[in-house]
Structure 1
């Protein structure tokens, strides 16, 4: 379930509550007249089945609430309510399959920004990957993959392509390029200090490392894995499955390739610099292709088969298939 908080001008309150009253996906409606001060208006709150969120938010925008008032959306982790259960079961579809495009828009907009936190996490992940390459330790490589934040920027570019948002594509691309260049530069500097003044690392450390040798050998399987990871990553974001996204991070060799580039430069392994760069490019390309295709398919399916608003309470048949016996949702009597 989602909790929707709407600040609406008083003249539109009846229209908003009317849309809520007509939909089987809405429950727990609360109206507080005149409580909002900035922007001024009435406060309308209700719970909504995730399947109907995209259509409901679109309807509220059509009323101009986003310009004259405010719309906020929160996830409800636990809802102990028979009415909420009825609303979820009555709304056609499944909550895991529902794409809330406004939620995805906000998330990718945040991920497209070049922040200090992004640079710090990517630099730390690249340094851990570099140490993993030097010591031939796969566990460090996996840790670096999990720590890397780059998939957010990749998803933002994919979203920008599907929505034809050039500004988002430019911002996310800048974040990705600057982030990797900065992470490689910082890690290269650390590796140079470790080699010459300190003498901690030697070129021979990259000669024989059977456990992490895959980083410098990109092939067709690298692209296939990147494509599969890109599909899984987009699905995990749209379905709000953070646990699945961790698996995506572990699947792609972007951060390890950047870390290997950084240590190969001061150690003079120029062949590995090139092959690692190819590995990085192959993985990013695979995720871009898969991400754009997945979002495009989801957009087409949402437009063709998505829930329309309002979902009339006279529509009693469930549109779900393969979910057990059908239940008839009877309209509540108004007193």
Structure 2
């Protein structure tokens, strides 16, 4: 279930209340008249079935509540109520399968922005990857995978492609095109400093075996990226965010960026080149698979919407 809060102009309140009252996916409808201060108006609250959320939000946006008032959604972990159970039963489909597109846009839009926090995480992840490469530590490589924040912009690009949102694609593209080069440059400097001070020897990668998978690009790399992108988008659209950790661990994006810098300092330009190619293959595979999942889910959801009435009493 999701908790819906809508700030509504008084002249629209009765229309909104009537719509929510008659919608099968709505429970616990509450109206607070005259309590909203900025913008002024009434506050309408309801618990709605996740599988009905997209339809309800679209209807409220059609009444211009997103402009003249405000609409917020919040996930409910527990709802003990016969009315809530009835709403979930009446709403078509399963909550875990439902895509709330406005929620997805908001989430990917926020995670796709380049900012100091995003850059800091990406730098730390690349540095961890470089340490893992030099020390031949697969565990450290896995840690770098988990820390890396790059899936957010990649998911945003997929959403932008499917919904034709150029602004989202551009914002996410900036995050990646700025984030990775900056992180790789910082990593390069750190590796050079470590080599000059004798903290570690980049040439140690010649004998590494446990982390060789980082630069060994091939068909399997692309297949793994496709599977990871599909799993990641399924996790984002079904509120099963715990699965994202597995996605982070399965793709070789940040490790490849770190390996490329270590290999460059060591003079192993072949491995540096393969690492950069590995990075690009993984980025492309994730975006393609994530977009494909969204297209399938959107088509399925649109087909389901055509087969049901907008509301039921």
TM range (shorter): over 0.9
Contact 1:6 1:69 in 2 (8 A): yes
Contact 2:133 2:211 in 1 (8 A): yes
Distance 1:256 1:263 in 2: 11
Map of 1:8 onto structure 2: 8
SS class of match (1:125): helix
Unaligned 5+ segments in structure 1 are 314-335
Q: For residues 182-193 of structure 1, what are the structure 2 equivalents within 5 Å?
A: 182-193=182-193
Distance 2:280 2:156 in 1: 17
Question: Measured at CA, do residues 57 and 46 of structure 1 come closer, stay the same or move farther in structure 2, by a change above 3 Å?
Answer: same
Question: Measured at CA, do residues 262 and 10 of structure 1 come closer, stay the same or move farther in structure 2, by a change above 3 Å?
Answer: same
Contact 2:191 2:202 in 1 (8 A): no
Paired positions, count: 312
Q: CA deviation at 1:137?
A: 0.8
Map of 2:243 onto structure 1: 244
- String of CA shifts for 1:247-288, please: whole Å, max 9, x gaps: 000110001001101212222221111010011011111111
Contact 2:10 2:41 in 1 (8 A): yes
Question: Measured at CA, do residues 265 and 31 of structure 1 come closer, stay the same or move farther in structure 2, by a change above 3 Å?
Answer: same
SS class of match (2:131): helix
Contact 1:227 1:290 in 2 (8 A): yes
Distance 1:144 1:50 in 2: 34
C-alpha RMSD of the superposition:
1.2
Q: CA deviation at 1:204?
A: 3.1
Distance 1:92 1:165 in 2: 28
SS class of match (2:242): helix
SS class of match (1:240): coil
Q: CA deviation at 1:309?
A: 6.2
Q: CA deviation at 1:202?
A: 2.2
Question: Measured at CA, do residues 267 and 53 of structure 1 come closer, stay the same or move farther in structure 2, by a change above 3 Å?
Answer: same
Distance 1:12 1:143 in 2: 52
Whether 1:202 aligns to 2:209 is no
Q: CA deviation at 1:305?
A: 1.0
SS class of match (1:306): helix
SS class of match (2:73): strand
Question: Measured at CA, do residues 268 and 10 of structure 1 come closer, stay the same or move farther in structure 2, by a change above 3 Å?
Answer: same
Whether 1:273 aligns to 2:280 is no
Map of 1:152 onto structure 2: 152
